[in-house]
Amino acid sequence: MIKMLEWGKENCQLNLLKELKKLLFLCKHFLQRMKAIQIEFTDKEITPWGGMSLLKQMLDRIDFETVLRNADLPAQRSNRGYPPEQLLINFLVGVWCGANCFEHLEVTRHDRAIGEIFEWRRMPGHRAFRRYFQKFDQGVNQRVFTLLYQWFFNNLHLDNYTLDFDSSVLTRYGTQQGAKRGYNPRKPGRPSHHPLMAFVAECRMVANCWLRPGDSYTTNNFLGFLEDTRQKLQGKKVSLIRADSGFYSKEVFDYLEQEGLPYVVACRFYRPIKTKLASHRSWLKLDEGIEIAETTFQAEDWKAPRRLVMVRQQINKRPKATGKQLRLFEDEGIYRNYRYSCFVTNLDFSAKMVYDLYRNRADAENRIKEVKYDFGFESFNCNDFWATEAMLNVVMLAYNLMSLFRQAVMGTKVQHQMKTLRYKVFAIGGYMIKNGNSRILKLSMQMKRRDWFKGLWSSTELMSWPFLVPS
């Protein structure tokens, strides 16, 4: 009997403990429910990109939609198709909002507030963009983008400009036309495209872009590209042309000199150039660990010698120095202590000025990185070669318009990268309301930032076209 009573007591305690645990669990769950975020839905059309209103204002000020309407864009075959000018502006907006492939354009498609800001009754899906770019061919690209580049640069008060040339490798993973195996340092053996690009250094804008197959050498079609670029910058004087060693070519030098164009081009480090560097003895110290010299050099196929500016930097004193080491002999001795750079030029400036001018070319490489990683330059492509080229030029147009915004509206000496602007200026929550015949964009913004945004808004209202590029 006693044992039974003890067993019953223990059993009662266990049951009580279980009930207490259940009660604690329910209390904990209740508290969690009280703290948890709950969701509700609203029909209010809210956008995370309220700052896009600034770009809409700027596009209106330069009458961009009218320019596109008069640019002889490929026509739609159906009355139900989207207006070509809307498709291109919609594409630009998608790129500015961070899209770097067609599928990402669906984000802006479902943002009805963006549609309200840009006054679009309906917005296309990503397949509509693909279908439209398929209408571009070589002739259309030449006609349309020549007109657009000319319109853009004609409206910039700019002359005596520096033209930087460069090429880039765009890795491909599909069956795109022109995707060939060639030089691809990031993905050796992968098919790629190898476009040529030209930049106007003074305004940090793109002057031209040609798509080429991946097996094209850097100088392939370069002279034609240079002539085409000058046509797109008609009426403006080239004060300097800069290019890296990929453009080191007799044909290039002959053309530039024939046209009276000043140039600085990095030398290709083939053996005669390396021998010239190794044999030179008169070096002038510029700074700690860096020396400069100049001489003349005549290659076998040159009619006359050309001026060389040479730079060497001590590796132990300047470990981050650019340039190449000379590899001429088994026992390289002193040569392994330096990195060398060498430039061919027709300028009559001092050697130091020539070197400084070329170093400023590094900004063009920064531009390429930005269009690749922040504007989707490498990601937008179609199976059709000319459609891809058209897309790349529209991306370049997006870049130029954003550069215009940075200078004409932001008005800061610091050139903020697109990824910074995207989240500092454009990513502002907002929604549209109607008050009679007026449309009002309500922006969610801290009080202390409102004057700053009003200042940007006033800058877009006061923006004039043509635009004077700040020196």
Domain ranges in the chain? 41-244+361-471, 251-360
What 3-state class would DSSP assign to 191? strand
pLDDT for 432 beyond 50: yes
**pLDDT for residue 38 is more than 80:** no
Q: For residue 71, which of 165, 153, 146 has the smallest C-alpha distance?
A: 146
* Helices marked H in 306-379: 351-359, 362-374
pLDDT grade for 7, boundaries at 50, 70 and 90:
very low
Mean pLDDT along residues 226-244? 93
Please state, as a whole number, how many other Cβ atoms lie within 10 Å of the Cβ of residue 411: 11
Averaged pLDDT score across all residues of the chain: 89
Helix (H) or strand (E) holding 147: helix 138-154
- Tell me the pLDDT tens digit for each residue of 292-351: 999 999 999 999 999 999 999 999 899 888 888 887 655 566 677 889 999 999 999 999
pTM comes to 0.88
- pLDDT for 98 equals 92
Q: Does pLDDT of 256 surpass 70?
A: yes
Buried b (16+ CB within 10 A) or exposed e, 206-226: bbbbbbbbbebebbeebeebb
Note the pLDDT tens digit of each residue in 83-94.
999 999 999 999
> CA-to-CA distance for 468 and 471, rounded, in angstroms?
9
For 386-413, write each residue's pLDDT tens digit: 999 999 999 999 999 999 999 999 987 6
Count other C-beta atoms under 10 Å from residue 339's C-beta.
Answer: 20
